[in-house]
Structure 1
Amino acid sequence: MRTALHYYVTLLPSLQYEQSDEVSYVLNITRLPDSCQNSPQLYELMDSQFHINLSLAFYEITVYAKNKAGPSPSSSTLVPLLSAPELEGKLFATVQDGNILLTWSPRFQCDFFIVNWGTNSSKMETKTFMEKMENVTLTGDFENMKKYTIMIHLYPEYCECDEFTNENTFGITYNYAEESVPIAAPGSIVIKNITKESAHISWEEIQEENCLGFLVGYVIHYKDILQNTTLY
């Protein structure tokens, strides 16, 4: 199963100077948050492409060019999180007394692992565990109606802190400390292909930030206008 991702970093055109022996690129990769005090990692390159293995943690990539006269302005970007990655482990998060109980399957052999959780890349918490465990309890001031991303990362080769390029993501899950009802309605309802027996109905999905919880579906009500009777 895939537990690490392979990235090709292509430098932005605004940073691509005419290639020469006097021009190089400096690539700065920072893990968010830094879990093993080994971030950022700096690479000086002569090419405008770079291949690197990264886990599913959040990373910020900054790059600038330099020549004998000095450095250029820099450009930065965040490595996007895949929506449905294929991972070895399954995580299960449940809310208990204001905390989040995290369990997983299958068990992993390492007695060293890292848990990250938060609502976005700039609000990720990190905690390191140095013993074999079957579950952990995440504590803190969890925001209600905010979707939390929760991940477990391993360093399977040595089962201890190492460069983040050797980090693998075991599993990922999502949870809300407390859910509420959506605060927005589906938009742009369109009805077409109407016949005596059917019609095709479509609408714009509610944006995630307006769901305030896991959206389980949509309910459609329709009625006979002539008889003023709700059919469903």
Structure 2
Amino acid sequence: MTTSEPEIKLVLSYSAYQLNIRAFNNVSFSSAVTHIIPQYEDTNNSGDRRLNVTVHNSTAFTISWRTDLITMYVCYSVEWMEKGHSAHYRSFFEDSDSNKTLSSLSEHLEPFKRYSVTLHLRTNKNTCNMKYINNSESTYGTTEFYYIEGSPVSSPTNISFHNVTVNSVVLQWSYIQEEDLRGFLLGYIIHYTEYHYRETSTEHSKNQSFETK
């Protein structure tokens, strides 16, 4: 793309992009300045069951989508990445099946690491190569998966309580770090002991699945 303006507007999908900008005159070109545009994270389309992922092993997984998409689109591109790492992608033409198995991955999937996967759509078969885009790309949805999940390796920290009344108390704690979760967090099990004056104590347990602050 060539322009003489100092500002342009790019219409992008949810992909991650590498942007190179250089100046030129009648003689030659300047060296390029490189900028990374990270993948846009849309929590509304994450985990909404538009996409399903089945992991077979560390070098293969299958992604599936709605069957009616094949009547509108012929070119698909799957983009996956571990958070904080560079994205990988694979583009393909599909006109009959609503799933695609990606095998022989260049980088093996690692256990206990969370991956995001995004499906991009194009109507033109000639643009199935992700390097060449003609404004026909749209993003269908994204979801997350683990190759192998494991037990959390740490507990919540910075536990505090406030708004204490005769029959209630508000507990707060910090999020567990991503690298310590090693799987999708389902909730917390809270044990507490109720002490009675001159009586034996009573232990309680609650399995809570709620959002922490």
In the superposition, the TM-score normalised over structure 1's length comes to: 0.68
Q: Which amino acid aligns with 1:170?
A: Y
Post-superposition shift, 1:196? 0.9
Work out whether 1:113 is the aligned partner of 2:71.
no
Once residues 148 and 86 of structure 1 are traced to their aligned partners in structure 2, the CA distance between those partners, rounded to angstroms, is: 15
Post-superposition shift, 1:178? 0.7
**What percentage of residue pairs aligned between the two structures are identical?**
26
**Secondary structure, aligned partner of 1:160:** helix
Deviates more, 1:216-225 or 1:159-168: 159-168
Matched residue, 1:128: 92
**Secondary structure, aligned partner of 1:188:** coil
Work out whether 1:100 is the aligned partner of 2:61.
yes
Deviates more, 1:165-174 or 1:221-230: 221-230
2:183 to 213, 224, 231: 213
RMSD: 3.2
Which structure is higher in strand share?
A: 1
Matched residue, 1:23: none
Once residues 114 and 138 of structure 2 are traced to their aligned partners in structure 1, the CA distance between those partners, rounded to angstroms, is: 23
Once residues 184 and 51 of structure 1 are traced to their aligned partners in structure 2, the CA distance between those partners, rounded to angstroms, is: 44
Once residues 217 and 54 of structure 1 are traced to their aligned partners in structure 2, the CA distance between those partners, rounded to angstroms, is: 36
Work out whether 1:90 is the aligned partner of 2:50.
yes
Q: Which amino acid aligns with 2:40?
A: L
Q: Is the 8 A contact 2:154 2:176 kept in 1?
A: yes
Work out whether 1:58 is the aligned partner of 2:58.
no
Q: Is the 8 A contact 1:89 1:105 kept in 2?
A: no
Matched residue, 2:126: 160
Structure 2 unmatched ranges of 5 or more: 206-213
1:158-189 per-position Cα deviation (integer Å, ceiling 9, x unaligned): 24317424311122111111101122221111
Distance verdict in 2 for CA 1:43–1:219, change over 3 Å:
farther
